[in-house]
Amino acid sequence: MREWHTLTTGPLETRALGRRLGQLAKPGLVVLLAGDLGAGKTCFAQGVADGLGTPADTPVTSPSYTLLNIHCGRLPLYHFDLYRLSAVADLEDLGYDELAEGDGLTLVEWADRLSTPPPASLRVELRHIDATRRELRFQADDTDGEKLLAALAGAANTL
Ligand code: ADP
Ligand code: MG
């Protein structure tokens, strides 16, 4: 499955989708998240962290000045937030390539700030519809992403 989109009503639904992704994720997965401020990227990332079983005492947040947070779950979660990224050099400085090529799950908020987005299996674009509804558009960019997306979409009505 190359593309799939869905509508969530409320943060819990967005989080549940993220959780399922975290449960399904294989080592080395890279997921890019795009969408305006308040679209729900961090909410989705919190669900992913849940699905990986990261400890609740180090919650996933929208850090103002931190570009990278690492959470330890079934797989390590490398949570990048590029909102304040000023230059591509910063991404290199963060050791992005080494982490993304490792065995964790790399999740990148504000991936669309990069003129050249890094390679990823899955891209998720979140869009604000109204106070409680968000549209999530998923796009798979390789065979791993396609398999994952099929599983995610197949499970969506059982969340
Ligand atoms: P971003 O990281 O994209 O800037 P956040 O996840 O930090 O966005 O914030 C999303 C905000 O929108 C939260 O306050 C959340 O409670 C609210 N919200 C309302 N409805 C939804 C929904 N369906 N999905 C995700 N967030 C929602
Ligand atoms: Mg955020």
Query: What local confidence, expressed as pLDDT, does residue 66 receive?
Result: 80
For ligand 1, atom 23, name the residue with the nearest CA.
Answer: 10
| Distance in Å, CA 54 to ligand 1 centroid | 20
Predicted confidence at residue 98, as pLDDT, reads: 96
Calculate how far, in angstroms, residue 45's C-alpha sits from the geometric centre of ligand 1.
11
Tokens of 79: 């949570």
Please give the C-alpha separations between residue 14 and each of 47, 84, 89, in angstroms, as whole numbers: 8, 24, 32
Edge-to-edge strand list for the sheet holding 68-72: 3-9, 133-140, 122-128, 30-34, 105-109, 76-81, 68-72
List average pLDDT for each run of 10 residues in the chain, which is 159 residues long. 97 98 98 96 98 93 82 97 81 91 96 88 98 98 97 83
Q: Is 64 in the pocket of ligand 1 (CB under 6 A)?
A: no
| Mutate which of 5, 12, 36, 43 for ligand 1 pocket (most atoms within 8 A of beta carbon) | 43
Q: What is the pLDDT of residue 64?
A: 63
Q: What is the pLDDT of residue 115?
A: 82
pLDDT of residue 63: 63
d(C-alpha 10, C-alpha 17), whole Å: 12
